[in-house]
Amino acid sequence: MGSEVKEINLKALFIGDKSENGYLYKDILSELIDEHLGWRHNYMPQDPPEITIEDQQSDSYRQTVTRMKNVLGEVSTRLRTHSVPWHTAGRYWGHMNAETLMPALLAYNFAMLWNGNNVAYESSPATSQMEEEVGSDFAKLMGFENGWGHIVADGSLANLEGLWYARNIKSLPLAMKDVIPEAVADKTDWQLMNLSMEEILGILKKFPDRIDDIKSKSARSGKNLQKLGKWLVPQTKHYSWMKAADIIGIGLDQVVQVPLNNKYRMDVVALENVIRDFAKKEIPILGVVAVVGSTEEGAIDEVDKIVALRKKLQKEGIYFYLHVDAAYGGYARSIVLDEDGSLIPYEKLTSWYTEHGVFTKADGMISRDVYNAFAAISEAESVTIDPHKMGYIPYSAGGIAIKDIFMREVISYFATYVFEKGAEIPALLGAYILEGSKAGATAASVWAAHHVLPLNVTGYGKLIGASIEGAHHFYDFLKGMSFTIGDKTVDVIPLIHPDFNMVDYVFKERGNQSLAAMNSLNSAFYKASSFTAGCLYDNGYITSHTDFSVADYGDSPIAFVHDELGFSMNEWNTTQKVTILRACVLTPYMGDQKEFDKFATQIQLIFQQRLEGILK
């Protein structure tokens, strides 16, 4: 493989907004399929073909082919009529979607013909090996030296798996008290509930013959779930955290939402207060979730400060499991890593970016806060990372990385027919994961992408850099923009300067003092700029929206609604939500200011027309 590339050209890696690389895609695919067909042909070439030419000439064969073609024709019609044109270079400013990488699509299509099942090596020797390597990539990307990882169907499941790890590991000390009391005799229950993961696994490793016994008394038995304490998430948490707490059995009553600071990051001072308040009541903290790339704001929690807080509290006998939900932002850690996967010092980022063409303007794209947060992820116990988000891989491809490969032993299972405990088979994946059968094709897809685009500043860093710069262009474009609609003036006001590549914004009529009226305006704008307006195929500007409600966000939006937009506190208290427009900027083409400007004029015109349609 090792072909040297002086500089990756991202334009060679996508089919293209106007199918510019369509023929390249088809040529490579055709060659790959031929290689597969030849493989079938040549396995035991002496065997007779089961489908004869006579079969192929029969009426029933021809009728069946006709039916198949008609059905696929209907699939094509439906998809062309009702799909989202997020391949566009500059007209889709909505959900977390864009073109996906050609190598990922091609590898998926190809590997699918073999249909490996990565639940067990036996079913998928080639793709199981690839998943093992991809898992290793995830761990290395997060800075886990002794880590491990694997592909998960999606980020919600990876979050659930992270919580499963936390629940089962944190429950071990109580099981040890039962099975090997001598090992923990010197500790109170409070101390047991505040052992660090290293301490817990350290004790476990000392009793290799008792591991199965201890596991059987852990949370997997159904015992002690309510003793494990609280699961802390920022108010920006993805809703999958609520589902996960429900499913895993600790329950929603144990979930505590931590307020945000005015950058929509978890407020670490508030976090400390929450933890100390529970500690006073001897209620342990099962774990804390830091979000790296919040779903609705792209905010990046200050993982470094959370880690520092944990170190401080640990000295006082308080410890919590730390899971980083980097489903969205995980791949972006590439942008601070050099070719060996080592952290580039912050001061040297600019020169690396200039050398590798990561940004057209290298300054100020990665703030020190964001850098510090990325750097500190290596201190977490587990991390969710979704290839199908910033990995530009087609659905479904989520992922998880864990800090210490030994953590697997706490959740592992063995099923006779797929694997034998202790058997020397590589990658007994089904024993160590929440899921069962899983497409080997996904592993081939992610593996191919990682080999074309290395997980550092020269590869994925460059692709994600283009998306970040595109977001900055969009933010600069919106900020200060205003429209005259008859005798009204409408301003565009972004929520926050993007930590990453998401830009939230609202339209506000100047002088309007009703939050409900502003919400209506933005809802109406969304409706005109989404599938609710009818056919997406002739919609020239598409966006998404979200609501920040008191139920989810508490009073965190006041900084924006009151302080910045000027609505009265009474408005906030009455209306209880603010409707926000939301653009996740994944397009790799808008990092170039000149190209962005070509679309900017069009978009501004559409804004004007839509506002006129709503307000006149």
Site for a second copy in 376-405 (CB under 8 A): 386, 388, 394-396, 398
Q: What's the CA gap between 354 and 362, in Å, rounded?
A: 6
The smaller minimum CB distance to a second copy, of residues 70 and 484, is found at 70
Site for a second copy in 564-583 (CB under 8 A): 582
The answer to the question of residue 487 lying near a second copy (CB under 8 A) is no
The angle formed by the CA atoms of residues 366, 447 and 470, to the nearest 5 degrees, is 30
| Closest approach of a second copy to the CB of residue 511, in Å | 28
First to last CA, the chain: 60
- Classify the C-alpha dihedral 178-180-183-186 as positive or negative: positive
| Residue range at the interface with a second copy (CB under 8 A); choices 18-26, 179-187, 191-199, 312-320 | 18-26
The answer to the question of residue 134 lying near a second copy (CB under 8 A) is no
Site for a second copy in 277-296 (CB under 8 A): 295-296
Phi, psi of 481 (to 5 degrees): -75, 140
Site for a second copy in 228-247 (CB under 8 A): 238-240, 242-243, 245-247
Phi, psi of 329 (to 5 degrees): -90, -5
The smaller minimum CB distance to a second copy, of residues 265 and 577, is found at 577
| Closest approach of a second copy to the CB of residue 590, in Å | 9
Q: Which residues touch 456 (CB under 8 Å, ≥6 apart)?
A: 334, 337, 338, 339, 340, 341
- CA distances 580 to 179, 467, 543, Å, are 53, 21, 11
- Which of 93, 110, 148, 371 touches a second copy by CB under 8 A? 110
| Residue range at the interface with a second copy (CB under 8 A); choices 24-32, 194-202, 282-290, 305-313 | 24-32
The answer to the question of residue 126 lying near a second copy (CB under 8 A) is yes
Binding characters for a second copy, 493-532, by CB under 8 A (x = yes): -------------------------------------xx-
Query: Would you give the DSSP letter of residue 114?
Result: T
Region at 225 (left for phi over 0; alpha for psi -120 to 50; beta for the rest): alpha
The smaller minimum CB distance to a second copy, of residues 9 and 342, is found at 9
Q: Which residues touch 278 (CB under 8 Å, ≥6 apart)?
A: 229, 230, 284, 285
Residue 417 a catalytic site member? yes
- Which of 138, 264, 374, 447 touches a second copy by CB under 8 A? 447
- Which of 181, 416, 601, 616 touches a second copy by CB under 8 A? 416
The answer to the question of residue 339 lying near a second copy (CB under 8 A) is no
Site for a second copy in 71-90 (CB under 8 A): 71-76, 78-90
| Closest approach of a second copy to the CB of residue 510, in Å | 27
Q: What's the CA gap between 152 and 209, in Å, rounded?
A: 31
Beta bridge partners of 46: none
The answer to the question of residue 354 lying near a second copy (CB under 8 A) is no
Count of CA atoms in the C-beta half-sphere (13 A) of 328: 25
Which residue out of 321, 417, 460, 553 is catalytically annotated? Answer: 417
| Closest approach of a second copy to the CB of residue 207, in Å | 20
- Classify the C-alpha dihedral 178-182-185-186 as positive or negative: negative
- Which of 279, 441, 495, 586 touches a second copy by CB under 8 A? 441
Do residues 95 and 586 touch, judged by C-beta distance below 8 A? no
| Closest approach of a second copy to the CB of residue 53, in Å | 9
The smaller minimum CB distance to a second copy, of residues 106 and 490, is found at 106
Site for a second copy in 196-225 (CB under 8 A): 216, 219-223, 225
- CA distances 56 to 36, 61, 65, 235, 468, Å, are 21, 6, 10, 61, 53
- Tell me how many residues contact a second copy (CB under 8 A): 184
Strands (E), 47-128: 92-93
Q: What's the CA gap between 50 and 32, in Å, rounded?
A: 23
Site for a second copy in 38-67 (CB under 8 A): 38-41, 43-44, 47-52, 55-56, 58-67
Strand-strand pairing, 398-402 and 502-509: unpaired
- Which of 135, 330, 440, 461 touches a second copy by CB under 8 A? 440
- Which of 174, 324, 383, 444 touches a second copy by CB under 8 A? 444
DSSP-H helix ranges across 262-407: 268-280, 303-314, 349-356, 368-376
Number of helices (H), then strands (E), in the chain: 23, 13
| Residue range at the interface with a second copy (CB under 8 A); choices 176-184, 435-443, 463-471, 557-565 | 435-443
The answer to the question of residue 22 lying near a second copy (CB under 8 A) is yes
Helix, strand or coil, per DSSP, at residue 327 = coil
Site for a second copy in 305-334 (CB under 8 A): none
- Which of 136, 156, 334, 458 touches a second copy by CB under 8 A? 156
Q: Which residues touch 286 (CB under 8 Å, ≥6 apart)?
A: 166, 167, 170, 228, 229, 230, 231, 250, 254, 320, 321
| Closest approach of a second copy to the CB of residue 236, in Å | 11
The smaller minimum CB distance to a second copy, of residues 157 and 366, is found at 157
| Residue range at the interface with a second copy (CB under 8 A); choices 256-264, 329-337, 371-379, 429-437 | 429-437
Site for a second copy in 172-201 (CB under 8 A): none
* DSSP collapsed to 3 states, 455-511: CCCCCHHHHHHHHHHHHHHHHHHHCCCEEEECCEEEEEEECCCCCCCEEEEEEEECC
Which residues form the catalytic set? Answer: 417
